[in-house]
Amino acid sequence: MVSSNYMNNNINLPKKGVTWRSTNKLVKIMNDSFYDLPCPVNLNAWWSFGSMLGLSLVIQLISGLLLSIHYTAHESMAFDSVVHIMRNVEKGWMLRNAHANGSSMFFICIYAHIGRGLYYGSYMDKTVWFFGVHLFLLTMAEAFLGYTLPWGQMSYWGATVITNMLSVIPVVGEGMLRYVWGGWTVCNSTLKRFYTLHFLLPFVMVAFVFLHLFFLHEKGSNNPLGIDSSTMCIPFHPFYTVKDLFGYVCFMFFFMYLVCVDPELLGNHLNYWPADPMKTPIHVQPEWYFMFAYAILRSIPHKAGGVYIMFLSIAVLYLIPSLHSGKYRSLCFYPFNQLVFWVLVASLISLTWIGARPVRAPYIILGQLLSVIYFSSLLLNPPSLWLWDKLVEYPELYVSRPVDLKWLKCLFIFKLLKLLRLKKGVRKWADKCVKA
């Protein structure tokens, strides 16, 4: 899977002998992907979240398969089957808590993984990035489908609100909504369709994971500096297996705390009431990992506009590679953009908190303000990258001149005047700097 040039040109990898790992074709694929995989020497802990996502996927697949043995996809029995799993099935409470909280752990890891990609410029490998965004959207769809299956109050009304978004699609929206429901409202047919899709989508996700890894290993991983590291690599084992094992230990500690000590920390107590189509909850809200999108949705007073803006807040990830305008991939070289990045993270966390608040003042205006900050930080990034490159670009004419604080000040003001196209000011300042 890894290109031969990438491996052969690297001076830091141990020379390969004839081993059973290199002679067996099937084992060789696994060996080149996980054992002798050449990795940049300077990867930090943020790269461990990719491995943690693999662990999360395995946990969800196994726990989901075991839960499907006892679950009944029928509107009159779904809620009772979940109660049966919790009370009567051996270790069923642990199984259900593991699956429910496993989705939260999955999203914690995936948000950290995306954040690392944005900060260090991993999105410049477009094929890998696009498959990652595909996986993110599939994960969101899978989580929504799974949230409806317990058929509690929040499950039912959450499904009603989210599926109603289809009605904003011109011409075909109403027809699509009726087809998804299988009737005139959320009903037994809806539950069966969602259960079928929830069971099948993980296999599609696994296929996308393999494609994501295939294209990643073909070119090699990015690194914190965002520079070419093909001649400065070390094998994945033992250097990064140890780091990933430490990440797994930290992951399992927090995961088992959620499963065994506080399983409802990230849940919603209203889902312990059976679904009642005749009684609407005061505050219908999704799971915490969708709260930021929900806060953006309700910040727009127009229904169709809110839905479009909400989807844009997620689909904007597809545009990130095209919006990059800097000379370097990583934000390590862009101090101002580091600040912009953390403003983006803060706005995302704040929107998540706003989404859990009631729809009333001052949360409405705060949600609108944070939505503006969220999109502004994304739009501000490209021009600020270009501007910083222009400001720090060193003229070839003065390469031999000694660099000191006074000279850097002169150079900075010269660049600023040039960017503002103040020709007279540029000439005067240049003469002053040369004389100095």
58 alpha carbon, distance to own chain's centre: 18
How many of the other CB atoms lie within 10 Å of CB of 19?
A: 12
Which of 28, 70, 74, 243 is an active site residue? 243
244 part of the active site: yes
Burial 250-260 (b: 16+ CB within 10 A, else e): ebeeebeebbe
- The H-assigned helical ranges of 121-235 are 126-148, 153-163, 173-181, 188-219
221 part of the active site: yes
What is the dihedral angle through the alpha carbons of 341, 346, 352, 354, rounded to the nearest 10 degrees? Answer: -130
Q: How far apart are CA 255 and CA 249, in angstroms?
A: 10
Q: Is 324 annotated as a binding residue?
A: no
Which of 36, 244, 347, 371 is an active site residue? 244
Which of 217, 229, 347, 415 is an active site residue? 217
What is the dihedral angle through the alpha carbons of 267, 272, 277, 278, rounded to the nearest 10 degrees? Answer: -110
Phi, psi for 427 (deg, rounded to 5): -65, -45
Tell me which H or E stretch contains 234: strand 233-235
Query: Are 430 and 418 in contact, with CB atoms under 8 Å apart?
Result: no
Q: How far apart are CA 419 and CA 392, in angstroms?
A: 12
Q: How far apart are CA 249 and CA 242, in angstroms?
A: 11
Number of H helices and number of E strands within the chain? 18, 2
Which of 103, 125, 287, 371 is an active site residue? 287
Query: Are 319 and 390 in contact, with CB atoms under 8 Å apart?
Result: no
Query: How does strand 233-235 pair with strand 38-40?
Result: antiparallel
Q: Is 302 annotated as a binding residue?
A: no
Q: How far apart are CA 368 and CA 396, in angstroms?
A: 47
70 part of the active site: no
Query: Are 238 and 14 in contact, with CB atoms under 8 Å apart?
Result: no
189 part of the active site: no
Q: Is 212 annotated as a binding residue?
A: yes
287 part of the active site: yes
Tell me which H or E stretch contains 39: strand 38-40
Q: How far apart are CA 313 and CA 378, in angstroms?
A: 10
Q: How far apart are CA 241 and CA 247, in angstroms?
A: 10
Which of 63, 81, 155, 221 is an active site residue? 221
Q: How far apart are CA 234 and CA 115, in angstroms?
A: 25
Binding site feature residues for heme b = 99, 113, 198, 212
Bind-site residues for a ubiquinone: 217
Annotated binding-site members: 99, 113, 198, 212, 217
Residues with catalytic roles: 217, 221, 243-244, 287
